[in-house]
Amino acid sequence: MSRRRKFHFYLAVVTFCTGFLVATSIETTKLTRKERFNDQQFQQETQLNDRILSEKEQNQHLENQLLDLQRQVGKVEEAMAERKSEAADTLSQLEAARMLAGVVAVEGPGIVITMQDNQNAANNADIANYIVHEQDVRLVVNELRAAGAEAISINGQRLVSNSSIRCVGPTIIVNGIKSAAPFVVTAIGDPNTMESALNLPGGVLHSLQDFVQIDVAKKDHVQLPAFVGDAKTKHS
C-alpha cells in the first residue's frame, strides 16, 4: 500500500472516529439534558403534590373550624329563640294583666247590653220595681265575668278590680262618675258564650225582663276605654 493510500485510510479512520465521538457526545448531551429535565419535572411534580396535600389539610382545618362556628351559631340561635319565646310569653302575660287591670284600651269581639227603665214604669203603683237599679247592673256584670268576659265597661267607664256600682236616686255612679239610664254594659269576650250565660233559664235576663227593658247585641268588634283614675283608690 502506498503512502498516499495509507494516508487516506488513516484520514478516513480518524474522520470516522471523530464523527463517532461527536455523535456519541451529542447523544450523551441530549440524554443528560433529558435526564435533567426529567429530574426537574419530577421535582416540580413532587413540590406540586406537596402543595396540594398542604392545601387539602388547610381546607380540612378550615372546614372543621366552619363546622364548629356553625354549631356555636346554632346554639346561640337556639338560646335567642328560647329567650325570644320567654320574652313573648312575658309580654303576653303583661298585656293580659294590663287588660285585666284596665290600664289600657282594648278592642275585640264582644257583647253590648242596654238596660233601660220600663216604658210603663210611671203607670205602675210601685215604680221602683220598673226602673234599673245598681243591683240589676251588678247582676249583669257578674254574669258576664262568670262567662269569661275579659274587660267590661258601663257607660264608657272601665271596670277595674276595685270599681263599685252605686245607686244615687235615678242615677248610677261608677268609678266616681254619675250617669243615668240607659245603662250600656259593654264586654269583650266570646259573644256566644256570654249571650248564652245571660239567657240561661232562670238567669239574669229571665229574672229582669218582666220589670225593665234589656236589649242584647253580639258584636264582632267593640272598643273599651282604659280606666281613668287611681286604681289603688276604692271607688265606693
d(C-alpha 168, C-alpha 173), whole Å = 7
pLDDT in the model for residue 67:
75
19-23, 68-72, 139-143: segment of lowest average pLDDT: 19-23
What DSSP letter does each residue of 96-132 carry, written as one string?
HHHHHHT-S-EEEEEEEEEEE--TTGGGSS-GGGGS-
Looking at residue 127, its pLDDT comes to 81
The predicted structure's pLDDT at residue 123: 78
What pLDDT score does 235 carry?
A: 45
* Rounded Cα distance, 231 and 175, in Å: 10
Give the amino acid at 189.
Answer: G
In whole angstroms, what is the distance from residue 143 CA to residue 135 CA? 12
The answer to whether residue 236 scores a pLDDT higher than 50 is no
Q: What angle do CA 120, 123, 128 make, to 5 degrees?
A: 80
Q: How confident is the model over 100-130, as pLDDT tens digits?
A: 667 788 999 999 999 999 888 777 778 888 8
What sign for the dihedral angle of Cα 45, 51, 53, 59?
Answer: negative
Which phi and psi (to 5°) does residue 135 adopt?
Answer: -70, -30
What is the distance between the alpha carbons of residues 191 and 179, in angstroms, rounded to a whole number?
Answer: 25
User: What would the grid cell of residue 91 be?
Assistant: 309580654
Task: Look over the chain and give the mean of its residue pLDDT values, rounded to a whole number.
Answer: 81
Q: What is the pLDDT of residue 45?
A: 72
> What is the percent of the chain with per-residue pLDDT over 90, rounded to a whole number?
34
**pTM (predicted TM-score):** 0.60
Q: Which residue has the cell 272598643?
A: 223
Using an 8 Å Cβ cutoff, are 136 and 212 in contact? yes
Rounded CA-CA distance 219/217 in Å is: 6
Pick from 152, 208, 195, 192: which is nearest to 175 by CA?
152
CA-CA distance, 139 to 223, in Å (whole number)?
Answer: 22
Per DSSP, helices labelled H in the chain are 3-101, 134-146, 191-198, 204-208
Least confident of 31-35, 45-49, 179-183: 31-35
Cα distance from N-terminal residue to C-terminal residue, the chain: 161
Of the candidate ranges 19-33, 142-156, 163-177, the one whose mean pLDDT is the lowest: 19-33
Closest Cα partner for 134 from 171, 89, 84, 188?
Answer: 171
